[in-house]
Structure 1
Amino acid sequence: MRSPLALAALATVAVPGFDAREVRGTAAPGDDDVAVVTDGQRRRWVVRAPRSAAAGAALEAELVLLGALAGHVDSGALPFDVPRVVGTAPLEEGGRVVVHRELEGRPVSLDHVAPGPGVAASLGRSLAALHELPVAVAEDAGLPVYDAAAYRARRLAEVDEAARTGRVPATLLRRWEERLEDVAMWKFSPVLVHGDLSADHVLVADGAVTAVMSWGEAKVADPADDLAWLLVAAPQDAVDSILEAYQLRRTELTDPHLADRALLAGELALARWLLYGVRAQDDEVVADAVQMLDELDEQTRDVPEPGTAPL
């Protein structure tokens, strides 16, 4: 891992004339070292450097995507900003360090999102605007592209792998399998999705989404994936406002099972957390995942069948 001071030094190479005055490290998910550097004019900049060849390749694809997304921001197609790279420099071990301006806003607090106009409606409109972009944006960046059948098969494989750990309650496995085997639920039009949305990756200010960060998991896939975190964590009355704004912004949206798949995606995130712990041989992560899976099993035993929350 690189120290914050090392990243600040790399920033001066990536951006000639860069006047680094202060630097602080920041905990970032993924396989990048990240620091925030303040320059002589008190402006803050984010410096990212991949730790591995795989992370470097992922960052290269992300840079192509960010360039395309910035064009859609400038055209007005996207109502939020994205990281805009101002400089890069090669690393001795391969890959590049990148520097971009720190984006405006603060991480959204879903617990405090109120229904109606404001952040809730802005979240819905922002996701809808992203999902309206041409899928060629992802294809041109070399990102993964799935059709509905392939994505359903991918989810089935995840559930099968989770089942083999012996750590998932049998009733929960049956619930997932029933939903994945319901072919009618999986008739959707794939779109460009962020793929890793969370409160830390969405910034808000003055009642609106201002920026979206961390695009390393973007792909062409199920639009429900980007709604999952909202349906799971936001207050129910705010969820209604988010979905209404999303639906109004989408063109020709015919997907009666979108909300059902979003809720399922939120549940399957726990299975992926379990699998991560098993692969990493991290007993603490495994125990955390098992506890959450047991709680989910208790909560969902009396949940109605899909189709009761159409969009």
Structure 2
Amino acid sequence: MHRTYSMRQSRAPTASQIQNPPPPSSSTKAGRLFGKANLGHNFRKSVHPGAFGPDLAKKLSQLVKMEKNVMRSMELVGRERMEVAQQLSIWGEGLDDDVSDVTDKLGVLIYEIGELEDQFVDRYDQYRVTIKSIRNIEASVQPSRDRKQKITDQIAQLKYKEPNSPKIVVLEQELVRAEAESLVAEAQLSNITREKLKAAFTYQFDALREHSEKMAIIAGFGKHLLELVDDTPVTPGETRQAYDGYETSKAVIQDCEDALTNWVEQNAAVKSNLSQRSRTLSQRRAARNTGEGHDLTGQDQELDNRESGLWIPASQHQANEYEDDDDEVATSTADGETRGREQVVA
């Protein structure tokens, strides 16, 4: 029997790839030494991440290096899934017809999962590279911070040792220029950080969503394949019915291929719907940021406004205009008049 190890021999671009072209191959897949050995991975694990480079960029350098290790691990998982799929198909080759056919087709699905893992690594690298660009900007801002701090220290030292030194005026002028340069650099860093952060995690979450949805599709069709296996117990000497599910298993694989090929984000099955409370808070925040919200602070007028004629002493109110409220205690104003109702003593 011909064993198949991959779902599609010739791969046409999927609907998702047409809508969102795939990125270049991940940078973790190139530049390896000694075949599959990964010396860099072990080195990054043994050396404290972020131990080198400018102080400002150290924390983000640690994140970037940790993410590279994550990608190496995902790449290894994808490659080993493909090997597992092939071995599953080889194992089932000598079994009964139904088990042999189903294990072959299950191997096809698991091999497809391995290829999805490989594609996910490329998408994930978009996120990592974008985060890495923030690190580079942070590293470029560090010298301006260091220069400003150095001049500040020099001025403090001169004021302590030589309070009348003419160098102090020169250094103060340099400090003004350094602060201006640092202010521009910090503003650029703030803007770029926000822009790149949103772009980076958009890459990651889009990739996660596509990957997870396609994995769920494969899992669903895998369970359909299992229905072709006759697990009815037989007595010794009894013969099972001849297997006639070859065309069905091929149709299941074809349906799975079509579902994966035609998947686009707009048709995703899992939707992240906000609760009413989250939507309300989000709308309030958007209105507050855009200035389109309604300011309700001026709608309530002060009660103690005698000039406008709105304030009336408590003695002028009719007693029957209010319901009884034993919890309300009378309060006195600054001029000795009483507001409200006196507390009733039992």
> How would you bin the TM-score normalised by the shorter chain?
under 0.3
Structure with more of its chain in helix, by fraction: 2
TM-score, length-scaled by structure 1: 0.25
